[in-house]
């Protein structure tokens, strides 16, 4: 939810693009509606409103509020709400004349830290210990990580002390970056760790070219694993990595996406090939079993197996219809963005899975839904037609799934609504009653 105060600068910007043709209070009403009722993204809402009143959406600045952990390596225009942790002036020579710039470290409420440089000190005299809303910043790659730059377009606003609370224990790296090395297993990796040493086997890897400000660059991305789990990785330097080999990487760092950690390493990292006994590719390719409570602690993970019982079937389960343009679920053939559309049928399951101590949401797309329920999309459409009831399929899924123990495989992310698994494989577990009973008896005996 964005409140009135947060919406205000965007209302002003839309009014500017529409050249005062529309009253600010009308824009505010629209924007509030799209954001908080339809839950469209800020950028999409702004573009939509401008278009609606006959303006050119491309006149909007592309600035988008991001967390430091979400920053890409070449953001063109980004807004940040941060606390400046350190800031020091430096003399540099630009185009033959001396110039004072600032550089230091900024942090946000998640405890992420990023290096920054201010190129126009008259626009942004950032001071350590103060909070700022920075608009129209950009990023450049520095040692495989984003560095925030404030150029002459930057707009900086001093914000109250209580607006950004950096978690305790956040260590501020010296500019140049150093923190004590951490030797970790895959399951111990957490967003924003620096100077990590990890030993793992590379399961898959692909290289691709990316554009950077200094030209084209090859990067290598894939999945590596140890006995505690799998992690996606990105190498920003060619270490001649090969699929199947076991490597020890030192001086890597961890970025995250919605709680799923990703290991990154660049030129400053070292890669060695230890001669050690290590689990084989086949064993490591299995999804590792995790409890929902373990997921809560780590915040998410790639490719895991979770057991639990289906305790609730959520709205939007069964036969649904999507907009062919934006893939949103449509109601009665009407997309909230594109209006009346030729809706496309689809199957989906959204359930809450509980293992007795913790719960998560699980979302299954068509293929997984079909194989779990044995009901194909075609059969679902036939049934809906025969019964003249589009909700019929959802109720059938409820009958099949409610209160059933399930085994789910997929990646788990965390957001404002808690843990959520994007399920890649699902099955109902038919418990072996005798084994279960014996296990229970053993437990009782131990307790006695």
Contact residues for Zn ion, defined by CB under 5 A: 323, 325-326, 335, 337-338
Nearer to Zn ion, 283 or 325 (CB): 325
Integer Cα distance of 243 and 205 in angstroms: 6
Q: Which residues contact 365 (CB under 8 A, 6 or more apart)?
A: 347, 348, 423
Residue 170 or 326: which CB sits closer to Zn ion?
326
CB of 50 to Zn ion, least distance (A): 18
| Both structure tokens of 175 | 């500019």
Rounded least distance, CB 47 to Zn ion, Å: 14
Nearer to Zn ion, 129 or 339 (CB): 339
Nearer to Zn ion, 133 or 326 (CB): 326
Cα(117)–Cα(139) distance, rounded to whole angstroms? 10
Q: Which two tokens stand for residue 54?
A: 């006959």
Which two structure tokens, joined as six digits, stand for 268? 């400053």
Closer by beta carbon to Zn ion, 115 or else 348: 348
Q: Of 69, 218, 237, nearest to 143 (Cα)?
A: 237
Min separation Cβ 84 and Zn ion, Å = 41
Query: What gap in Å lies between CA 136 and CA 367, rounded to an integer?
Result: 42
3-state secondary structure of 261: strand
Q: Which position's Cβ is nearest Zn ion?
A: 323
- Closer of 50 and 186 to Zn ion (Cβ): 50
d(CA 73, CA 50): 29
Q: How far apart are the first and last CA of the chain?
A: 53
Q: How far is the CB of 339 from Zn ion (least distance, A)?
A: 8
Which is closer to Zn ion, CB of 325 or CB of 367? 325
Beta strands per DSSP E along 59-144: 64-65, 78-94, 97-107, 113-118, 131-142
Exposure of 351 by Cβ count < 10 A (0-12 exposed, 13-18 middle, 19+ buried)? buried
| Shorter beta-carbon distance to Zn ion: residue 244 or 339 | 339
C-beta of 335: minimal distance to Zn ion in Å? 3
Structure tokens at 304: 């895991």
| Min separation Cβ 49 and Zn ion, Å | 16
| Least distance CB 61 / Zn ion (angstroms) | 25
* Smallest distance from Zn ion to CB 334, Å: 9
CA 142 to CA 105: how far, in whole Å?
Answer: 13
């Amino acid at each position: 939810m964005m409140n009135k105060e947060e919406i205000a600068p965007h209302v002003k910007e839309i009014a500017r693009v529409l050249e005062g043709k529309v009253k600010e209070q009308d824009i505010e009403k629209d924007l509030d509606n799209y954001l908080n009722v339809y839950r469209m993204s800020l950028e999409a809402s702004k573009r939509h409103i401008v278009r609606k009143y006959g303006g050119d959406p491309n006149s909007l600045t592309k600035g988008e509020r991001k967390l430091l952990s979400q920053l890409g390596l070449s953001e063109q225009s980004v807004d940040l709400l941060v606390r400046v942790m350190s800031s020091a002036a430096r003399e540099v020579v630009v185009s033959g004349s001396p110039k004072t710039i600032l550089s230091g470290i900024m942090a946000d409420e998640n405890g992420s830290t990023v290096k920054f440089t201010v190129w126009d000190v008259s626009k942004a005299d950032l001071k350590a210990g103060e909070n700022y809303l920075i608009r129209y910043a950009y990023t450049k790659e520095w040692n495989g990580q984003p560095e925030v730059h404030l150029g002459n377009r930057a707009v900086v606003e001093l914000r109250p002390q209580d607006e950004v609370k950096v978690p305790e224990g956040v260590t501020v790296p010296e500019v140049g970056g150093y923190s004590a090395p951490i030797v970790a297993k895959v399951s111990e990796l957490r967003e924003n760790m620096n100077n990590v040493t990890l030993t793992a086997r590379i399961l898959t890897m692909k290289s691709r070219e990316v554009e950077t400000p200094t030209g084209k660059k090859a990067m290598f991305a894939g999945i590596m694993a140890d006995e505690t789990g799998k992690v996606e990785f990105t190498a920003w330097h060619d270490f001649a990595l090969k699929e199947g080999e076991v490597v020890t990487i030192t001086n890597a760092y961890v970025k995250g996406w919605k709680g799923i950690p990703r290991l990154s390493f660049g030129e400053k990292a070292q890669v060695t090939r230890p001669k050690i006994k290590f689990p084989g590719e086949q064993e490591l390719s299995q999804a590792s079993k995790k409890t929902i409570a373990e997921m809560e602690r780590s915040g998410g993970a790639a490719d895991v197996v979770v057991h639990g019982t289906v305790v609730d079937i959520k709205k939007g389960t069964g036969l649904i219809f999507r907009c062919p343009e934006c893939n949103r679920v449509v109601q009665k053939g009407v997309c909230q963005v594109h209006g009346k559309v030729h809706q496309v049928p689809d199957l989906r399951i959204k359930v809450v899975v509980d293992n007795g101590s913790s719960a998560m949401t699980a979302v299954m797309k068509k293929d997984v839904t079909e194989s779990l329920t044995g009901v194909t999309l075609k059969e679902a459409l036939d049934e809906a037609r025969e019964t003249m009831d589009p909700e019929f399929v959802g109720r059938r899924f409820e009958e099949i799934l409610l209160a059933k123990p399930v085994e789910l495989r997929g990646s788990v992310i965390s957001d404002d609504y808690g843990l959520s698994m994007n399920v890649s494989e699902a099955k109902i577990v038919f418990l072996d009653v005798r084994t279960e009973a014996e296990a229970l008896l053993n437990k009782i005996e131990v307790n006695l």
